[in-house]
């Protein structure tokens, strides 16, 4: 969403069989006329309302805290996967602390 490359440690891809899936929506979307965009949104909305899309079984793992805490959360999640204790997709959600205006301050 930030149009920046996603950095994934190679070790997780190789040794933990981590798989990442997605598609680049912005290039396709930006090239469509407004009418086509509207029709596609209407079609997707109808499919969702009709129950044609069913989300896969999943668990949301929230990554928050200091580096060490996040590392432990990831390690524990990978351990559960390796032990066969997770039979569903894992979605990682980054939770960033909210910064106050005092934290940001003028440059």
* Structure confidence by residue, pLDDT tens digits, 43-79: 888 988 998 877 788 899 999 988 899 999 999 998 9
Q: Is the pTM of this model over 0.75?
A: no
Give the phi and the psi of residue 93 in degrees, each rounded to 5.
Answer: -120, 120
* Structure confidence by residue, pLDDT tens digits, 88-97: 888 889 887 7
Please say whether the beta carbons of 80 and 86 come within 8 A: yes
pLDDT of 73 reads 94
Instruction: State whether the Cα torsion 91-104-1-39 is positive or negative.
Output: positive
pLDDT of 99 reads 56
* pLDDT over threshold 70, residue 107: no
């Amino acid at each position: 969403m930030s149009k920046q490359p996603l950095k994934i440690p190679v070790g997780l891809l190789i040794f933990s069989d981590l798989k990442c899936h997605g598609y680049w929506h912005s290039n396709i979307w930006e090239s469509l006329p407004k009418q086509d965009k509207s029709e596609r949104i209407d079609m997707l909305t109808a499919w969702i309302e009709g129950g044609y899309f069913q989300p896969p079984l999943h668990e949301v793992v929230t990554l928050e805290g200091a580096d060490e805490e996040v590392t432990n959360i990831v390690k524990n999640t990978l351990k559960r996967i390796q032990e066969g204790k997770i039979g569903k997709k894992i979605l990682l959600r980054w939770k960033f602390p909210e910064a106050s205006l005092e934290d940001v301050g003028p440059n």
